[in-house]
Amino acid sequence: MDSTLFRIPFGSWVEAGLEWIITSFGGFFAVLRSIFLAFFDGVSWLLTAPPFWVVILVLCAIAFFARSWKLAAGSALGFLVIYGVGQWENAMASLALVLVASAVAIAVSVPLGILTARSGAASATVKPILDFMQTMPAFVYLIPALLLFRVGVVPGIVATIIFAMAPGVRFTELGIRGVDREVVEAGHAFGASPGKILTRIQLPLATPTIMAGINQVIMLSLSMVVIAGMVGAGGLGGDVVKSLSRIDAALGFEAGISVVILAIFLDRVTASLGRRSAPAA
């Protein structure tokens, strides 16, 4: 006998809502799926069509200009390890997924962070939504993503965008709100419009904080690679899932070390860009 006093059919409401969305907006999600897939295929082609050593040289050049020759040399060694363990194609597919998902998450989160920084009502509305997005288990995002976009790389991208965009909003708002009020008031005193104050004072001074948020967006996107592999996204996440189903430690560690190398590269490059963007004292 069930001792529950009452039962709230929350799950049934969500299921009914999803069915209504699929029925009413199926065409829109089909178009959105095609757009995401086209972006992913384009980025993936750029990373896999050239010989592996050409891609390594380009990535190492980015590391060199972002920070130093030491980071470039370490990146070259790491990418050669990825190639040596036979995970190059998978790593580039995962990198393409991360780049596409991060680009969309940043394109949405930074303007939203600007809005919340300039409007208390918007901030009060968005913050609970961000709390929900950050605390909801990442696996849960895959369920509606699968229903709306079918099995493949697109539900992985969509789930990654939802999971990763919260830090971009929070850090952008924090950076803009952290700008010295006296500097902003000086801009007003000289007759600067709100738009000019935002673009010429607040955003430049908040750039290091915003870049820290972008760094977190990219790291969270990469952390979703394995979970995205569970819905057919392939890449390194696909091999990790395979290794779990087969109890294949060798494959799991080869895919895992490749994820670690990508994470270190992306973290060091974005962190270095953030430091370089800091205004001179």
Residue 209 to residue 187: CA distance in whole angstroms: 21
Tally of CB atoms within 10 A around 273? 18
Chain centroid to Cα 43, Å, comes to 15
* E strand intervals along the chain: none
Q: Tens-digit pLDDT profile for the chain (281 aa)?
A: 556 677 788 778 888 888 888 888 888 888 989 999 999 999 999 999 999 999 999 999 999 998 888 989 999 999 999 999 989 999 999 999 999 999 999 999 999 999 999 888 888 999 898 888 888 877 777 788 888 888 788 888 888 888 888 999 999 999 998 888 888 888 878 777 878 888 888 888 888 899 989 999 998 888 887 778 777 777 888 888 888 888 888 888 998 899 999 999 998 898 887 766 555 54
Residue 189 to residue 180: CA distance in whole angstroms: 15
Domain presence at residue 211: yes
Residue 85 to residue 254: CA distance in whole angstroms: 6
Domain presence at residue 31: yes
Domain presence at residue 1: no
Domain presence at residue 19: no
Reported as half-sphere exposure (CB side, CA atoms, 13 A), residue 155 has a value of 24
What CATH number did the domain enclosing 121 receive? 1.10.3720.10
Reported as half-sphere exposure (CB side, CA atoms, 13 A), residue 96 has a value of 26
Reported as half-sphere exposure (CB side, CA atoms, 13 A), residue 274 has a value of 19
**Reported pTM:** 0.88
Count of the separate structural domains present in the chain:
1
Domain presence at residue 73: yes
Q: At what angle do helices 249-276 and 69-84 cross, to 10 degrees?
A: 160
Domain presence at residue 13: no
* Per-residue DSSP letter, 178: T
Please give the biggest Cα pair distance in the chain. 74
Domain range enclosing 130: 26-276
Domain presence at residue 5: no
Domain presence at residue 6: no
